[in-house]
Chains A and B, each alone.
Chain A
Amino acid sequence: MMINTITLLLGVTLLYSTPMIFGALGGVLSERSGVINIGIEGMMTFGAFAGAAAGYYSGNPWIGVLCAALAGGVLALLHAVAAITCQADQTISGVAINLLGPALAVFFCRLAFDGSTMSYPVANKLPKIFGSGAEGIWANLNVDIMVVVALLFAVAMWFVLYRTKWGMRILAVGENPAAADTLGINVYKTRYACVILSGILAGIGGATVTLGIVAQFTQTSIAGQGFIALAAVIFGKWKPMGAYRACLIFGFSQALTVVLGGGAIAVPTEILAMLPYVLTIVILILFVGKSVAPKADGVPYVKGRR
């Protein structure tokens, strides 16, 4: 019984943290290059829809993931044009992306699914790590393959950022773009690549919800995960593995509400549902003083201006 609860808790934690991990990795990459990306939530929502729609019509969940990545990337491109080329207010642009993402998702959902704001359930979900035959505690731990992919992505991003030439360039652009420019690094190109990649990651994160956890797009598929991912970026000190761990903590608090919410204890579900959000604030109070954003985060770069 005990081992059952623990494995269930672990399984649900991994499941729920995965979409946030993709979003948070996107946030890390974008902000490390010096562009604040509040629009992660909107990119995840659009990706969640694109993933479910493509997954439904093609019957292949991987095509769904690919389309979700594209959808997130397209929205990110808009943000990149605004933030990098037009030197726009990145917060306003991000808010606009958060308005556009869900609006486009539901608009196209109504066109693709007979006027409904929900997609039809996809026939083939993303595969599980132990296949479909797992039983007992293995069923509890039989999470989506995306859980593994998220971990691989986090490790890969850590390696690229801290162990390769490209990574050093990205970090340089985010800390001191003028110096990076003098060294011959193309600040604009680097930032464009990072912002678009962040959208691609956010889109994939959205698809892990609609092709894995629930197998369907609804208006509440993405309900704050993108914003919690942003909190994870800060809590994780703008580092890939830090953000990964932070997402696990937030995922754990959500898992607690799911596992405990089954009537096991006498707390109203509404109060229990607040837990992840309360925890986020508490964690930020305890740790945020020690984390410092990349120096040029949110500052548009203009060639020749100091």
Chain B
Amino acid sequence: MEKTVKFFKKPITATLIAIFCGFLVATVILAVSGYNPFEAFGALLGGIFGRPKYVSNVIIKSTPIILTGVSVAFAYKMGLFNIGAEGQFIVGAVAANVVGIVCDFPAVIEVPLVLLAGVAAGALYGGIAGWLKAKYNINEVIVGIMLNWMALYFSNFVCNVERFHKPESDGAYAIHESGFISFFTNWKTTEAAAEFVQAHPFIGDILRTDANAGILIAIALTFAVSFLLYKTTKGYELRAVGSNRDAAEFAGIDVGKNMVQTMLIAGALSGIAAAIAIAGNNPHGITQLSAFESNGLNGLSVAFIAGGSPIGCIFAGLLFGALLYGGQSIQYVVGAPSEIISILIGTIVFLIALKDMVPVLIDKMGKRGVK
């Protein structure tokens, strides 16, 4: 009995229960709407694992949201709610795109330049929210949302500037090829590559996607953030402010300064997520936005599912990417609206909010058992 209680009290258990219950709710909604839920989830699995290409695409889809998830999780550790990750992502993409068009250097300079442009823009944008919170105590959620919309219109503005607008398209020019981080960009178009793909269908299938180095950068950064948070004095300060602001201030920690720094780093993480997407994925440029693409907003859900742990964001991000990418096949195969995936994700996040209830419930049930 004690062992079971201990098991149920682990945070990961509550998260898994939330995910399971999310699927239950989605099952009921699908069944009530007249679709076979098992077929639908079969299609989902097929859409994730059916071909090497799909798995590769899931990883590509997950890369940016792992990083925006880490961005949100990092800010949340000090009590800041970085809903502005979306805007930070958008300005990061714009900056990476613009720098990648204007500058034309060899890859060793071009790639870092493009990535740094994203970092700088994202950090600046996040920093604004942090500064407004520190200096004027303005709710970062509202500022974040306003900045998100401003970023969206700014991105569309840059898209239509003559210097950057690609004629007969709804987007900007691609960055110079030397800025690409896709695997074997040049080799892919050669005849040798065509022969190789014929001979090795498995790897060939993966090569047909935008497979790129982004995921490696994302994982490395995630571990760096985790190290910063748990193994450095700075990280300790940030967490101290997050768990008790007044106590931290009393202990001599400059809360305002830490807020701005946190948001700079959180913004930088969202910004580099965008720069990786620009450097790694077709069309290697921004396109006109009519609504949010949600790379940043999904980061919120990823961070919550990960329970605020940066390393957890890698797994939560992959889960999320898999659901988003594989979910499309629910519509192709079964005909059910692919929004069922959004409902599933929303339900999971809602249940995550309730997950503190699990240990309490277990305690209650445990007491009943003893009697």
Contacts and interface: CB of A to CB of B under 8 A. Distances in A.
Top-8 shortest CB links A-B: A103-B342, A99-B346, A96-B350, A100-B346, A270-B157, A110-B337, A92-B353, A107-B339
B323 to A, nearest CB: 12
Interface in A75-109: 78, 82, 86-89, 91-93, 95-97, 99-100, 102-104, 106-107
A224 B143 CA distance: 12
Interface string A164-208: 000000000000000000000000000000000000000000000
Contacts of A88: 353-354, 356-357
A111 interface: yes
Contact-size category for A: 35 or more
A268 interface: yes
A100 B349 CA distance: 9
Contacts of B149: 223-224, 274, 277
B290 A220 contact: yes
Contacts of A227: 142, 145-146
Nearest to B288: A270
A124 interface: no
Contacts of A89: 353, 356
A250 to B, nearest CB: 11
Given A270-B157, A284-B132, 12 more contacts: A86-B356, A92-B353, A96-B353, A99-B342, A103-B342, A234-B139, A271-B153, A274-B150, A277-B147, A277-B150, A281-B132, A281-B143
Contacts of A103: 339, 342-343, 345-346
B291 interface: yes
A92 B349 contact: yes
B291 A223 contact: yes
Contacts of B154: 270, 274
A111 B153 contact: no
Given A220-B290, A288-B137, A268 B160 contact: yes
- Most A CB contacts (10 A, CB to CB) among B137, B157, B339, B350 go to B350
- Most B CB contacts (10 A, CB to CB) among A107, A110, A288 go to A107
B145 A268 contact: no
A224 B145 contact: yes
Contacts of B340: 107
A231 interface: yes
A103 B291 CA distance: 14
A219 to B, nearest CB: 6
Interface in B142-172: 142-143, 145-147, 149-150, 153-154, 156-157, 160
A223 B289 CA distance: 13
Given A82-B350, A107-B343, A288-B136, A92 B33 contact: no
Nearest to B339: A107
Interface of A: 38, 78, 82, 86-89, 91-93, 95-97, 99-100, 102-104, 106-107, 110-111, 115, 219-220, 223-224, 227, 230-231, 234, 268, 270-271, 273-274, 277-278, 280-281, 284-285, 288-289
A100 B150 contact: no
Given A97-B350, A106-B337, A289 B136 contact: yes
Contacts of A106: 337, 339, 342
B19 interface: no
Contacts of B12: none
Nearest to A273: B153
Contact of B141 (A91, A96, A268): A91
Contact of B343 (A97, A104, A234): A104
Contact-size category for B: 35 or more
Contacts of A270: 153-154, 156-157, 160
A300 to B, nearest CB: 10
Given A107-B340, A111-B337, A270-B156, A230 B142 contact: yes
Contact of A234 (B142, B157, B350): B142
Nearest to A224: B149
B329 interface: no
A99 B301 contact: yes
B245 to A, nearest CB: 14
A225 to B, nearest CB: 11
A280 B347 CA distance: 31
Contacts of B247: none
- Most B CB contacts (10 A, CB to CB) among A88, A102, A220, A270 go to A270
B300 interface: yes
Contact of A280 (B146, B160, B357): B146
A216 to B, nearest CB: 16
A110 B339 contact: yes
Contacts of B49: none
Contacts of B342: 99, 102-103, 106-107
A219 B342 CA distance: 14
Interface in B123-137: 132, 136-137
14 contacts: A86-B353, A88-B353, A95-B300, A95-B349, A96-B347, A97-B350, A99-B345, A103-B343, A104-B339, A231-B146, A277-B150, A281-B143, A284-B136, A285-B132
A274 B354 CA distance: 36
A278 B142 contact: no
Nearest to A105: B339
B137 A107 contact: no
